[in-house]
Amino acid sequence: MTASPLVPPVKADAMSSHSALPSEPFRLDFAGLRVLFVMALDAEYGPHLRSLMTPLFIGVGPIEAVLHTALALQTLAGGDGLPDLVVSLGSAGSQTLTQGEIYQVSSVSWRDIDGSPIGFPKGLTPFLDLPAEVPLPTPLANIAAARLSSGAAFISGDGYAAIDAEMVDMETFSVMRACHRFSVPMLGLRGISDGAEELRRYSDWAKLLPVLDEKLADTLGRLETLLRAEGLNALKG
């Protein structure tokens, strides 16, 4: 089997495991609140973020993301209690936004769902009382906000032409659905890792991750200051 150029080298023993996600427990304490941070992969979790928080790793793509997020929330609900806030953070692609910069997620949509053959607009989940584009809080002053589209595929090159959003990822909509089910507020922070050029190999996505680690950590510092000052009321602005 020939490996995709987008896939990094993987040890044979990792391929036989049920999960390649890091197994260390996540922590909820942040800014005097119970905040659950969720990230797709350890590759996005650099030394700057490690100094601030310990996230729940939820894997790549919508299925893994909703599975791990919902299981964590269900476990917390039956134990010490649900978090006060969930923060989904990591990388995103964009052809129009500045590469290497951080954006708040102003809304999230699911680009894969298409019920149009039975009369539902594309992007709207049939028989679910939820809009196609779900707004999210953007409480941080001086951090730009952008619309996000989630789906099951890496978007590259001409694929952006079909996307009705400024940035793309693979997990945030799933995290939002799990949070919505458990009535937990969430916000999203994304750093633009790629999109200016076509993705051809793993390094095309990964090369800006150290930059995003530092800038996401700076953004979390601002979020911590805001939450300590205003608590969850900061999300209502």
Question: Per the domain annotation, does 60 fall within a domain?
Answer: yes
CA distance 144 to 142: 6
CA atoms within 13 A on the CB side of 236: 4
Residue range 212-237, pLDDT digits in tens: 999 999 999 999 999 999 999 999 86
With 90 as the cut, is the pLDDT of residue 139 above it? yes
Residue 4 falls within a domain, yes or no?
A: no
- Domain assignment present for residue 18? The answer is no
* Domain hosting residue 91, numbered range: 27-236
Can you give the CATH number for the domain in which 220 is found?
3.40.50.1580
Confidence band of 118 (pLDDT split at 50, 70, 90): confident
Domain assignment present for residue 54? The answer is yes
Give one DSSP letter per residue of 115-149, joined into a string.
-GGGTPPTTSPTT-SS-SEEE-----TTS-EEEEE
Judge whether 28 and 54 are in contact, CB under 8 Å: no
How many domains does the chain contain in total? 1
Kindly state whether residue 9 falls inside one of the protein's structural domains: no
- The Cα–Cα gap between 149 and 171 comes to 9
Residues 6+ apart with CB under 8 A from 146: 94, 97, 103, 104, 105, 106, 165, 166, 167, 190
- Domain membership of residue 2 (yes or no) is no
Cα Rg of the chain, angstroms: 17
- pLDDT > 70? residue 88: yes
Residue 55 or residue 114, greater confidence: 55
Q: For all residues of the chain together, what is the average pLDDT?
A: 89
pLDDT at 79: 92
* Averaged pLDDT for residues 183-202: 94
CA distances from 33 to 10, 136, 166, 229 (A): 37, 19, 31, 12
CA distance 170 to 162: 16
Distance of CA 8 to the CA centre of its chain: 21
Prediction pTM value: 0.88
- 46 is a domain residue: yes
d(CA 49, CA 217): 5
Summarize the confidence of residues 138-164 as an average pLDDT: 94
Q: Evaluate if residue 70 carries a pLDDT over 80.
A: yes
Dump pLDDT digits (tens) for 161-175.
999 999 999 999 999
Whether 2 has a pLDDT exceeding 90, the answer reads no
Residue 13 lies in a domain: no
pLDDT at 10 over 60: no
